[in-house]
Amino acid sequence: MKALVGAILMIVTSAGEMPNGEPTGLWLEEFSVPYEMFVNAGYSVTVASPLGGKAPVDPRSLEPGAKPDSADRFLTLLKNTVPLEEVDLYAYDAFFFPGGHGTMFDFPVNEHVAEAVRHGLAEGKPVGLVCHGPAALVGATDNGRPVVEGMSVTGFTDAEEAAVGLTDAVPFLLETRLRELGGDFSGGANFEPHVVIDNNLITGQNPASSGKAASALLHQLDVMRE
């Protein structure tokens, strides 16, 4: 059995419904692709969420063309997430926040999500966030200032939100909010891979960016171990 080289905490949403009643949650590809990469690289992975228990998965991410291979295995992993407030952040070498529209509703207002972001950035640990996962940056502050202020970031763009027809369903537009908080936001072509790295902060634009963001996080961990 391969010896473990470290531990990564993946934090997923607990929000499974939009205010209009439409089901939402985690976008499964953004969890499954990085999870597989982390495990294959020799890391133990813990999955946590704001509320713990079964994490909701956006049903659209299970449709043909979006549904990952071995989806049932990943759905099983998401049945019993750890409540984030019970997690010892010091026990982990890196943090990764998959997206999905659910994150727009609970990540920005959850103090434990904000603390995980703040801890990772302050301790120099790689912090990866993909698609709507950068919503975790919205509520995170350091000495009263947004942690994203002055940092280069990306995330699901306003144009992509319009393209999927959910501009009016989310509480705010992620690109716009990150810019308002002082983030230096850059977006690539709609639904094409785009990753931005600023020191130990790694952000990916959309589901297609999941693997590239996870690879960047693993590279930073490799460099730290050398």
User: What's the per-residue H, E or C state across the chain?
Assistant: CCCCCEEEEEECCCCCECCCCCECCECHHHHHHHHHHHHHCCEEEEEEECCCECCCECHHHHCCCCCCCCHHHHHHHHHHEEEHHHCCHHHCCEEEECCCCCHHHHHHHCHHHHHHHHHHHHCCCCEEEECCHHHHHCCCEECCEECCCCCEECCCCHHHHHHCCCCCCCCCCHHHHHHHCCCEECCCCCCCCCEEEECCEEEECCHHHHHHHHHHHHHHHHHHHC
Q: Output the tens digit of pLDDT for each of the chain's 226 residues.
A: 567 999 999 999 999 999 989 999 999 999 999 999 999 999 999 999 999 999 999 999 999 999 999 999 999 999 999 999 999 999 999 999 999 999 999 999 999 999 999 999 999 999 999 999 999 999 999 999 999 999 999 999 999 999 999 999 999 999 999 999 999 999 999 999 999 999 999 999 999 999 999 999 999 999 998 8
Residue 65 lies in a domain: yes
* Number of domains comprising the chain: 1
Q: Which domain holds residue 71?
A: 6-225
CATH at 115: 3.40.50.880
pTM beyond 0.85: the answer is yes
Residue 11 lies in a domain: yes
Residue 1 lies in a domain: no
Per-residue pLDDT tens digits for 104-156: 999 999 999 999 999 999 999 999 999 999 999 999 999 999 999 999 999 99
Residue 62 lies in a domain: yes
